[in-house]
Amino acid sequence: MNRPNANDFAVDILNLNSTLTPQLLVELHASIAINSTAFVVVDSESGATEFIGSKTESALLKFAKDLGWGCHRRPACFLVSSK
């Protein structure tokens, strides 16, 4: 593979938690959670969760949630409320 920098590497998203250092995971997680104005709404009837906010912020919060990161230094980011 031809890479611009010999130190570049690919990371399988499914293995991100076990591939990156704990310090890097904390920084990445904090960057997503702290810098987002999006939030989660849970439909009281179906239980389905939906991220409310910009598409980019919602996608990043879903990414963090899918990796099991929860919320870092921002209790409101995954606050559950009724729709």
Give the span between the Cα atoms of 83 and 75, in whole angstroms. Answer: 19
> Could you tell me the pTM of the whole model?
0.66
* Assigned domain for 59 exists: yes
User: Hey, is 39 helix, strand or coil?
Assistant: strand
Residue at 53 is within a domain: yes
pLDDT tens digit at each of 83 positions of the chain:
567 777 777 878 888 888 888 888 888 888 887 778 888 888 889 988 888 889 998 888 888 888 888 664 454 454 444 44
Tell whether 8 is covered by a domain: no
13 within domain boundaries: no
Range of the domain at 48: 20-78
What total of structural domains would you count in the chain?
1
What is d(CA 54, CA 31) in angstroms, rounded to the nearest whole number?
A: 16
In a domain, 49, yes or no: yes
Burial of 69 (0-12, 13-18, 19+ CB in 10 A): buried
36 part of a folded domain? yes
Buried b (16+ CB within 10 A) or exposed e, 34-46: eebebbbebeeee
